[in-house]
Amino acid sequence: MSESPNLTGRGRVASVLRFATELIAWVVTPWALAGHSIVLAVLSVVVLIGLPTVFATPGDKKQVLVAVPGWCTVALVVLQLVAAVIGSWVAWPVWLAVLVSVLAVLTVLAELPRWRWLWRAGV
């Protein structure tokens, strides 16, 4: 199978947008959960950082610890996007949540070529 757009110059903008959204998710999700449960706040960081680090689709990353089908990688990205958007609406001012939501939409649009490739990718 061909190489993922993630590993080519075509995927650079999508990678930058995705990473920015991931960073926001890593910050805002525990922030939003901390008032309810410190354990859930810590667990959210472990899940949001740990799962994509361990599980990846071959051909989409240079190093893959545990190979998963492409749809699983798409689901992990969607998890990050949803966490960033929902967390920002819970924890941050409306204007900032709107900016995060716009970033998430732009990320989805930029990610579409990669997601199409991932959807066809097997393990």
pLDDT (tens digit per residue) in 6-33: 666 777 899 999 999 999 999 999 999 9
Pair of tokens at residue 47: 């899940």
DSSP assigned state of 98 = H
**Residue 26, pLDDT score:** 97
Element (H, E) at 96: helix 94-120
| pTM, two decimal places | 0.89
Report how far Cα 58 is from the mean position of its chain's Cα atoms.
17
Contact 74, 118 (CB under 8 A): yes
Q: Cα–Cα distance between 91 and 74 in angstroms, integer?
A: 25
Pair of tokens at residue 64: 């893959």
**Residue 122, pLDDT score:** 66
Contact 30, 38 (CB under 8 A): no
